[in-house]
Each structure stands twice: as C-alpha cells, then as structure tokens.
Amino acid sequence: METTKVQRYKRIISGTLCCMLLLVLVAGLETFMLLFKEPSTNKTVSNASATQQLWKPPPATSIPGGEKGNSIVYGQSLIRETAHFLGPKGSVLQISNGMNCQNCHLQAGTKPFGNNYSLVATSYPKFRARSNGVETLYKRISDCFERSLNGKAPDSTSKEMVAIKDYIEWVGSQVPPKEKPLGSGITSLPFLTRAADPAKGSKVYKQQCKSCHGSNGEGVKDDDGIAFIYPPLWGGESYNDAAGLYRLSKFAGYVKYNMPYGTDFNAPVLKDEEAWDLAAFVNSQPRPHKDQSADWKDIKQKPIDFPFGPYADNLTEEQHKFGPFKKNHQ
C-alpha cells in the first residue's frame, strides 16, 4: 500500500515537472520569435504609440451658448463649406478658388493626422520663420486663403474671419499649453535614401487617386458647380505653389494616413515610398504660382524640401524639391 502511494506521488511530481518544463520551453520559444521577428514596414500608429493617448476634438456639447457659440458654429460651417460662402460663386464673398478648407483640414480640422487644428489654440501668436516675424492666428488664416485657396483673405474684422478664428481655437481648446498630443497636425515620414520619383508616383496616382480626383487631377464638382466633392490636385483651381502641401514632406505625410479616401492611421494603404513618389508626381503638375520673394528672408531657416532658391547650401532646386534629403538634412 505504501509502495503504491509512493509511486502515485512520484507520478504526480513527474507530471508536474514535465508541465513546468513545457511552459518554460514555450515561453522561451515565444521570446526567441519576438527577438528575431522581421519588423513591419507599415506600422499603424496604434501599434507604434500604444501608451500615448490619441487626440480627440472637444464634443459639440462643449460649444458655449450665446454670441460666442454662434460664431463657433458659423466658423465650422465656413470651414466645411468654404466655397458656398466664399468661393467663386460664394453667397457672402467671392474670394477663393472653390475648394473648402476641409479639403486639406479633414473633417473640419478634427481628424487625427488629418492636418487638424489641435495645436492652434495654444500656439498662436507665434514666431514663424517663413515670414520672419510673430504671426497672429488671423495671419495664419489669411495665408491659407492666399496660398491653399489661391485667393484673398477676408478682412480681419469681418464676421467670417472672426468666426473661423473662434472655431479653430475651440477645436484645440482642450489641449494644454506646450503639449503635442498623438495625432496632431500631419505625420512626419522618414526621408527616402533616393529622390522621390514622379514617374513612380504617376502609377500610384492611377491606381489609388484617379477614380476620385480625375485623370487630369481636376477633381469632381457637385451638381450645382459651386464646390468640389473631390478637390482638384493640380490645375488652375487647385492650391498654388506657396501652399504648405506643395512641400513634398507635407504632402507625403498627409496622404500616408488619409488617402485613398476613407483611410486612417489604423490601416494605412500607401507605403512610405509610395506616399513620397505620389507627392513628387502631384507637385510636378502645373498649378497657380504665387510670388514668394518675401518668404524665408533668413535662408538658413528654409526647410530642406522648399523648392525655390536661393539656399544656404549648394544643392539645386531640383534636389531641394525631390531629394534625396536624408544625407543632407536629418
């Protein structure tokens, strides 16, 4: 009887040890696989920055009542439907090219990584190297009208300008000073080790962009011809060559997490190289020109991908437009 008990205990102990050994082996194998796993070339933001909270715009319920609230709501409408109010057939003024502000600032400036307004409320007034001076938010809005909308800015005292300012400030009102939340603005992609290639970008455009923006980048207008459903990417009705998106780094970062239409940071469609090449193709096409002789008076402050000289280095305009940038400007 005692012998039988001893044998039973031995079997139990032996089985327990075998299970423990198996668990150790499995854990070791998983660790080995993680160490030698091939890194992903198309990480999502949620995987790469799981510990940082993604920025969200304030809820509509936080819009105050009264005159200020009415101004914010009107400003939101102006951002969403700029062309209906301020385009070539605008009901208030005719001062812009027919695009809407939210064609570039997606979801009325509230989409994560969609060129949103999250940082504006705590950033302005601020010094900007492009103008070599301290700029107010009114100046920043004026630049958008004159560059991205290729038009004229509303008067700074106008109901429309004040409303746009009030709305933009409200969008970023819950971001603490000096904080940069995940999802603010536009993502920054790593520089390529080669020049961005318009020919390769043309192929990407045909595969991913042509169905919405047209064979000639002309976009698609609504039935009444007042505004664009899909904005023009080049041509006379598109942004001019002084707009921020004319810089390849801005365009590439913008399309990475937003295009084709419906894309977001959780499931990017374009590889980094495709985003850069697409930027090179689109920004090689004809578009309105704006005099920029007053910009970047301190040429040492020019961004590496600003495509107009003079420069503080010996690179050509073509190199500054298409790269490669990596060896020259980390």
User: Which DSSP string do the residues of 274-294 spell out, in sequence order?
Assistant: HHHHHHHHHTTS-------TT
Instruction: Provide mean pLDDT across the span 304-326.
Output: 94
> For residue 90, what pLDDT band results from cuts at 50, 70 and 90?
very high
> For residue 52, what pLDDT band results from cuts at 50, 70 and 90?
confident
pLDDT at 78 over 60: yes
pLDDT at 247 over 90: yes
The Cα 232–Cα 213 span in angstroms is: 6
pLDDT at 5 over 70: no
> For residue 51, what pLDDT band results from cuts at 50, 70 and 90?
low
Amino acid at 322: F
Confirm whether 60-171 and 198-322 share one CATH topology: yes
pLDDT at 327 over 60: no
> For residue 42, what pLDDT band results from cuts at 50, 70 and 90?
low
Please state which of the four CATH numbers 3.40.605.10, 1.10.760.10, 3.90.550.10, 3.40.190.10 is assigned to the domain occupying 198-322.
1.10.760.10
Mean of pLDDT over the chain: 89
Please state which of the four CATH numbers 3.20.20.100, 2.60.120.200, 1.10.760.10, 3.20.20.80 is assigned to the domain occupying 60-171.
1.10.760.10
Q: Can you give the residue ranges of every domain in the chain? A: 60-171, 198-322
pLDDT at 296 over 80: yes
Contact 110, 57 (CB under 8 A): yes
Q: What is the pLDDT of residue 155?
A: 98
Q: What is the pLDDT of residue 41?
A: 45
pTM: 0.84
Q: What is the pLDDT of residue 175?
A: 97
pLDDT at 326 over 80: no
> For residue 11, what pLDDT band results from cuts at 50, 70 and 90?
low
pLDDT at 324 over 90: yes
The Cα 303–Cα 291 span in angstroms is: 18
Contact 107, 232 (CB under 8 A): no
pLDDT at 280 over 70: yes
Instruction: Provide mean pLDDT across the span 77-103.
Output: 99
Tens of pLDDT, residue by residue over 118-177, are: 999 999 999 999 999 999 999 999 999 999 999 999 999 999 999 999 999 999 999 999
